[in-house]
Structure 1
Amino acid sequence: MIWNWSDTCVSGVQTGAGEGWLGRLPFHVAAQTCEGFGILLTHGADAKRDLVAPAEWAAAGTAGFRVLREGPDAFRARLKNIQIAQPLDNTLYRTRFRVFFEWLRYRDDDPDFDIIRDIVREFVFRNFPIAKGQVVLGQPCPEQYVHSLATARNTFGISGWKLGRRLSAIGLAQRSSVSKRFVLNEYAPADVVRGIVTEVDALLNATEAAHRVGIDRMMITKFTDRGLIPKYYPDHNAAPLYHPRDLEAFLGRLRSLAASKTPSEQHLDIPTASRWLSVPTDRVTRIILDHRVPLFANETKAARFRDFRVSVPDLQQEIYRAQDGVLRPADAAKVLGISVRTVRSLLDRGILEPRTVREERSARNRRYVSISSIETFAAEYITVVDLASQSGRLPGAEAILQTDRGVQPLDLDSRCNMIFKRADVPALSASTVSNVKASRRAFSNG
């Protein structure tokens, strides 16, 4: 029985075929579908049709008409809204659309309803984990379009843990707040699941990945911590598994910096250069990639990590740039032409500015020297050796001469170099100041 639930709807479908999709349907199909779908919209999936009052049928028909008059896309969109209104669980389309779905099944013998059945069936196939061959509204599913964790596990043999972790990384799942299991935000498209299964099958453990890159297992762990090579599962507690694609991308970045020519004696492989400079290999590699330090390799296209050679002076210069304006005491001593003991004494007295640096290799905090304070020191102080080089006297004779003139050296620890304030030394050549800066540049350049 068709209730006169809306003058607008009745006039729209009784006047014959209209311009809209709904108006071109047979009258009984349009009217009954508005009612049947409208009951789902107004009373929910568990509504009992025989308990619906005439006035409620009218309201339901109006609600259904407002959606269906916008066409099939609006119909599908409202079905999708009903599906996602509740979290995914074990309930499928029969539960979520029960009153409407049962009504539609009762019209199996009327071919005029095929257009409605086709839309609903296709929606169910593409939005619920329906197995291939499973019959919905009289037709078998041609292929499975989406998966739950359970159907993916049964179909592909992949563990829910591995699949859930990857789906979580791309935003299709999340970790349950009450258990360690993963929960889908929406069913996973079959092609996405197939892609994950293919990737998981290709994963390498840390030992296998290290062999492919050309390093040892401990080094690949350091490269991962440094952010050079990502783990397939980024979680902190996840097993260290690697995809060949990411390993090849890492080697590709190194190969892009490499030229095919014979290296000189100044070119060493990266681990050897790292040991020579007392800087961890993973940090050196990070500097090479970030600062695009030129590399060399005999077989560039097939080169692995230990095949690359780097210029030690070039690398040394970039390391100093990466140290954010500081030098180790030993390097500061080379720049200033004094002993390391003297540098430490100058740091103790605040004449050179100390900086605390956490060394990557030892994981300890060390006292480094500010480069700006080294240049300030060079402008304000001079060693007795530099004075002697200007005067042509021996350093010992120069020291006696200056003290006889009343010039007092800095009060430093025993066995430190003798140093004077430039302002206290008469007729000092100004060229010595620039000489120290030039010395520092030359040291930085290797």
Structure 2
Amino acid sequence: MLSALVLRTEPKPRETFYSFVGRLAAVNGVSLHDFVTDFGLRKNGFFKLDSDVVQAIAQLADLKPSQIDEMVSWTGRPLEGVRMAYRGEQIVTRAIRNPEVRGCPDCLRQDVEGASQPVAAMAMRGQWLLRHCHVCLLHRKLLVPIWSTTHPSVRDDIQANLSELSSSIIGGEFAGTVVAPSAFDMWLDRRLEMMTDDTWLGRHPLHVIATMCDLVGRLIAYEAGAAGRGGDGIDLHRIYAAGFDCMIGGQVALEQLLERRLNDRAPTDGPQKVFYPLYRKLGAVLTYDPGFHHFRDLIRERVLDTWPMATGEIVMGTEVLKRKLHSIASLSQETGEDSGTLRRRLAAKQIIDPGDDRPDAQITFPVLAYDRFATDLSELVFQADVREAMGATEPQFDGLVAEGLIAPRVAGQNLRRIWSMDDGLAILARLQPTALSIAPGEDGWVQLQDAARQFRAPLSKIFDAVGKGRLVVGKVTGREGYGAIHVRADEIVAMFRNPQHVGLAPSAFGVSVGVKTGGAIQLLIDQGYMTVTELTDARTGVIHQRVLEPDATSFHTRFLTVRTTAAETGISSWKLSGLLRSRGVIPFETPRGPVLGVFDRHEVWAAVHEEMPSHGQIR
């Protein structure tokens, strides 16, 4: 057991173990190296704070266990995994062991006032070791670098370094910048002193919270357009202060910052730009530290909810086990489907907005929404596919559309219409169950849609009559599809032929003037833009709207279609369509929307006359 030295000194508040032993050696007139060697202490054990060496120093300095424990806690005792025990916390070693040793020159000058041996009086404080500490609260100045070396044993020989620099320190060559301590500085000092924290930040390790204050402060600076700053002490002080002001507001304040960054992002911004520098630091540099898991999760959750990260990608240090979002582009790449077709199919199921004209990579949607309709989406096809599947000719299909018996799932200006295969097959399922087998060309039978046209019978009424068993249906042997469905001509005549049934149904009139959009003419009638004649069927009591000659005149007097314009001018339909587009003539607009295919007569003739003056004036 070692005896206490005759010449001793007392530890100063927050003094590190290395500083104290250096002063103890100076008091006894020897270097730190000689002091350790003379008492047979292992030099490596000294710098590693091995318990036997620390205990020997305690005996030589006649210190109480509490004094030794206090100094060691301000110094940082090495632990496994490149960590240190420091002020009741486990902190990564490089957070308190830096090549650059900082301090407050005013504190060191104050130490030597009235002292005969400056080196024996100057004490290095433990808070100066922590890289997150930037301010001396006593003198309200920034800490300054005192010396720097990459060799730990040289760096931690406090006596040798202060001996070399003491005259410069005392002479005022080292000076910190005056600064007003921030709330972060006060919080950090209090937490180091008390080793407790009753704010929500106390739930997390000191180094984690201090690092988050740094990163959040940089994100705030980046948001304010000062991303390149943060290199000098003043900027670092401001960064930590700004980050702490956010962090002390609780998790809600941090989440509000993250949400604001998401809301303010440009369409092409990725997560690394939006969450700079949190995304890179937490997701790559600091993945070794589980203390940051909570904050990594906050950002990862938002990344996965915002960007279409694929299964298997690494996001914030964690592999994505299941994709949450798709974009049109990523779904196209994954399925091999054409992106334009996918866009229309997704719009049909209202998974995306049909009017969203952003690039494919920027339109995202939940994978679950897609999975729910994946099978249905595969049934969404173009018109020709539906016609082929149901065995209908183009005129037959147009008739069904005109009657509203089938409609596109997606339709709109500048959008190719897309249809559901199921809708077409449902028509067959509606007509075929009770169909009789009939021979090709058998007398008395007529194809269902031909019957509607010949006898001016609405298709929808025929469909209803078939469904109620009031009409017999036949199917031509050896043929399939809608074209093979026939009805008896005499039954159609008996049911629908009536003197009152003259003129055309609104939809049929629309077809006659080249308007194939279902309900277009009816919209004009309902809004009072053209007349219609209502006739009551004496046998059924059903009121029918019929377009008679005066009604047709009320339409032609006010409106034109491409077909009727072609008839009046002799200009081809395709040339007229291009002319109207180039002159900006748009479909007639009603309070309930545009009437596709129908145009104001004056606007059409104005465009025709402007383009082709030889075609005369408006009639």
TM range (shorter): 0.5 to 0.7
**Partner Cα separation in structure 2 for residue 267 and residue 110 of structure 1:** 83
1:157 aligns to 2:336 (yes or no): yes
**Partner Cα separation in structure 1 for residue 191 and residue 406 of structure 2:** 64
Judge conservation of contact 1:224–1:230 (CA < 8 Å) in 2. yes
CA shift digits 1:215-247 (9 cap, x unpaired): 323322332354432335424565565322322
Quick one: which of 456, 480, 502 aligns to 1:328? Answer: 502
2:341 alignment partner, SS class: helix
**Partner Cα separation in structure 2 for residue 206 and residue 176 of structure 1:** 23
Give the 3 Å change call, closer, same or farther, for CA 203–19 of structure 1 in structure 2: same
**Partner Cα separation in structure 2 for residue 275 and residue 126 of structure 1:** 55
> Identity percentage over the alignment?
18
1:274 aligns to 2:448 (yes or no): no
**Partner Cα separation in structure 2 for residue 29 and residue 299 of structure 1:** 80
Offset at residue 60 of structure 1 (A) = 2.9
Quick one: which of 438, 459, 462 aligns to 1:285? Answer: 459
**Partner Cα separation in structure 2 for residue 173 and residue 59 of structure 1:** 40
Offset at residue 108 of structure 1 (A) = 3.0
Judge conservation of contact 2:184–2:240 (CA < 8 Å) in 1. no
1:65 aligns to 2:248 (yes or no): yes
Matched with 2:122 is none
Judge conservation of contact 2:217–2:243 (CA < 8 Å) in 1. yes
**Partner Cα separation in structure 2 for residue 6 and residue 225 of structure 1:** 72
Quick one: which of 2, 9, 33 aligns to 2:212? Answer: 33
**Partner Cα separation in structure 2 for residue 314 and residue 18 of structure 1:** 91
Quick one: which of 269, 288, 296 aligns to 1:117? Answer: 296
Q: TM-score, normalised by structure 1?
A: 0.55
**Partner Cα separation in structure 2 for residue 142 and residue 124 of structure 1:** 14
Offset at residue 249 of structure 1 (A) = 4.6
Q: Which amino acid aligns with 1:234?
A: A
Q: Which amino acid aligns with 1:188?
A: F
1:172 aligns to 2:343 (yes or no): no
**Partner Cα separation in structure 2 for residue 357 and residue 286 of structure 1:** 11
Matched with 2:119 is none
User: CA RMSD for the aligned pairs?
Assistant: 5.2
**Partner Cα separation in structure 1 for residue 533 and residue 346 of structure 2:** 49
Q: Which amino acid aligns with 2:538?
A: R
Alignment of 1:241-280 (within 5 A): 241-250=418-427, 270-279=448-457
**Partner Cα separation in structure 2 for residue 240 and residue 229 of structure 1:** 13
Q: Which amino acid aligns with 1:96?
A: V
Matched with 2:117 is none
1:109 alignment partner, SS class: coil
**Partner Cα separation in structure 2 for residue 441 and residue 53 of structure 1:** 92
Q: TM-score, normalised by structure 2?
A: 0.42
Judge conservation of contact 1:172–1:185 (CA < 8 Å) in 2. no
Alignment of 1:361-376 (within 5 A): 362-363=512-513
1:228 alignment partner, SS class: coil
Give the 3 Å change call, closer, same or farther, for CA 236–103 of structure 1 in structure 2: closer
1:328 alignment partner, SS class: coil
Judge conservation of contact 1:166–1:196 (CA < 8 Å) in 2. no
Alignment of 1:345-360 (within 5 A): 359-360=509-510
Give the 3 Å change call, closer, same or farther, for CA 308–44 of structure 1 in structure 2: farther
Runs of at least 5 residues in structure 1 that lack an aligned partner in the other structure: 321-325, 332-355, 373-439
Higher relative contact order, structure no. (Cα contacts within 8 Å, ≥ 6 residues apart): 1
Judge conservation of contact 1:39–1:61 (CA < 8 Å) in 2. no
Matched with 1:386 is none
Judge conservation of contact 2:309–2:320 (CA < 8 Å) in 1. yes
Give the 3 Å change call, closer, same or farther, for CA 99–260 of structure 1 in structure 2: same
Quick one: which of 458, 464, 468 aligns to 1:294? Answer: 468
1:234 alignment partner, SS class: strand
Quick one: which of 386, 397, 406 aligns to 1:220? Answer: 397
**Partner Cα separation in structure 1 for residue 408 and residue 299 of structure 2:** 42
Matched with 1:441 is 538
Alignment of 1:221-236 (within 5 A): 221-235=398-412
Judge conservation of contact 1:204–1:241 (CA < 8 Å) in 2. yes
1:96 aligns to 2:293 (yes or no): no
Alignment of 1:46-65 (within 5 A): 47-48=227-228, 50-51=230-231, 52-65=235-248
Judge conservation of contact 1:165–1:233 (CA < 8 Å) in 2. yes
Q: Which moved more, 1:307-316 or 1:79-88?
A: 307-316
1:188 alignment partner, SS class: strand
Give the 3 Å change call, closer, same or farther, for CA 222–238 of structure 1 in structure 2: farther
**Partner Cα separation in structure 1 for residue 279 and residue 374 of structure 2:** 34
1:132 aligns to 2:311 (yes or no): yes
Matched with 1:383 is none
Give the 3 Å change call, closer, same or farther, for CA 164–18 of structure 1 in structure 2: farther
**Partner Cα separation in structure 2 for residue 112 and residue 7 of structure 1:** 22
CA shift digits 1:257-300 (9 cap, x unpaired): x98999xx999863254144234xxxx22445689973456799
Give the 3 Å change call, closer, same or farther, for CA 6–121 of structure 1 in structure 2: same
Judge conservation of contact 1:161–1:182 (CA < 8 Å) in 2. no
**Partner Cα separation in structure 2 for residue 98 and residue 273 of structure 1:** 70
2:249 alignment partner, SS class: helix
Judge conservation of contact 2:430–2:467 (CA < 8 Å) in 1. no
Give the 3 Å change call, closer, same or farther, for CA 171–185 of structure 1 in structure 2: farther
CA shift digits 1:169-191 (9 cap, x unpaired): 536356687xxx74566423334
Give the 3 Å change call, closer, same or farther, for CA 50–81 of structure 1 in structure 2: closer
**Partner Cα separation in structure 2 for residue 208 and residue 64 of structure 1:** 59
Offset at residue 55 of structure 1 (A) = 3.7
Judging by fraction of residues, say which structure has more helix: 1
1:146 aligns to 2:325 (yes or no): yes
**Partner Cα separation in structure 2 for residue 83 and residue 361 of structure 1:** 51
Judge conservation of contact 1:37–1:100 (CA < 8 Å) in 2. yes
Q: Which moved more, 1:49-58 or 1:195-204?
A: 195-204
Q: Which moved more, 1:80-89 or 1:153-162?
A: 80-89
Judge conservation of contact 1:147–1:189 (CA < 8 Å) in 2. yes
**Partner Cα separation in structure 2 for residue 173 and residue 87 of structure 1:** 19
**Partner Cα separation in structure 1 for residue 533 and residue 304 of structure 2:** 69
Judge conservation of contact 1:158–1:197 (CA < 8 Å) in 2. no
Give the 3 Å change call, closer, same or farther, for CA 186–360 of structure 1 in structure 2: closer
1:85 aligns to 2:85 (yes or no): no
Judge conservation of contact 2:347–2:353 (CA < 8 Å) in 1. yes
Judge conservation of contact 2:407–2:419 (CA < 8 Å) in 1. yes
Alignment of 1:335-414 (within 5 A): 359-360=509-510, 362-363=512-513
Give the number of the structure whose alpha-carbon radius of gyration is greater.
2
**Partner Cα separation in structure 2 for residue 442 and residue 210 of structure 1:** 36
Judge conservation of contact 2:208–2:291 (CA < 8 Å) in 1. yes
Give the 3 Å change call, closer, same or farther, for CA 39–273 of structure 1 in structure 2: same
Offset at residue 93 of structure 1 (A) = 0.9
Q: Which amino acid aligns with 1:68?
A: Q
Judge conservation of contact 1:36–1:100 (CA < 8 Å) in 2. yes
Matched with 2:172 is none
* Number of equivalences: 330
Give the 3 Å change call, closer, same or farther, for CA 357–36 of structure 1 in structure 2: closer
